[in-house]
Amino acid sequence: LEELEGLPGVSVGGFIEGYHELLGQSMFCLAPRGITPWTIHLYVAMLAGCIPIILSDDYEVPFQGIVDWPSFSLKWPMRSAGRELYAYLVSLDPALMAEMKRRVDENACWFNYYSSGACSPYRAVLRSLEERLKQRPTYVGQWWGPGGLPLPELT
């Protein structure tokens, strides 16, 4: 990522005074993996209103059955997160970027614990659990006989 330093419109590096204000003024925000594939940068980017660029090859985004991730984010291979990424981003159609930005704002409520109504992380977790429950195999019991016949009374 250091090779992006100094390119027009790019800020990469350590501590920046006014970091959150800078995020709020940015069109794209990088969300690199942390010490694990998961990263808080993704959620910070979304709540700041910038289009997240997920740089974590093994990370699986949450709420995939609810949130249309490709409509407002990019998941880019970490090995190409340099000038190739920059060239791709500057080549994007401004109308597409505006639509993605609108969709970020529309979907941020799924990650804002202060949001209420139908769009909140609490609702997303409940919906995800309901889907898992539907996929759960039927419990046939602790004991059974051939073909599901009950066992005789045992002592």
Q: At which residue do the structure tokens 């709020």 appear?
A: 24
Rounded CA-CA distance 104/94 in Å is: 15
Residues 77-92 have pLDDT tens digits of 988 888 899 899 999 9
In this predicted structure, which of 14-23, 44-53, 60-69, 92-101 has the lowest mean pLDDT?
Answer: 14-23
pLDDT digits (tens, 9 = 90+) for 90-140: 999 999 999 999 999 999 999 998 988 889 999 999 999 998 888 888 877
Q: What is the DSSP string of 108-130?
A: GGGG-TT--TTSSHHHHHHHHHH
Average pLDDT score over residue span 150-154? 81
Distance CA(50)–CA(42), nearest Å, equals 10
Task: Give 150 or 63, the one with higher predicted confidence.
Answer: 63
CA distance 24 to 26: 6
Q: 7-38 pLDDT, tens per residue?
A: 766 777 666 777 777 787 888 988 888 777 67
Q: With a cut of 80, say whether residue 61 has pLDDT above it.
A: yes
User: Distance between CA 129 and CA 121 in Å, rounded?
Assistant: 12
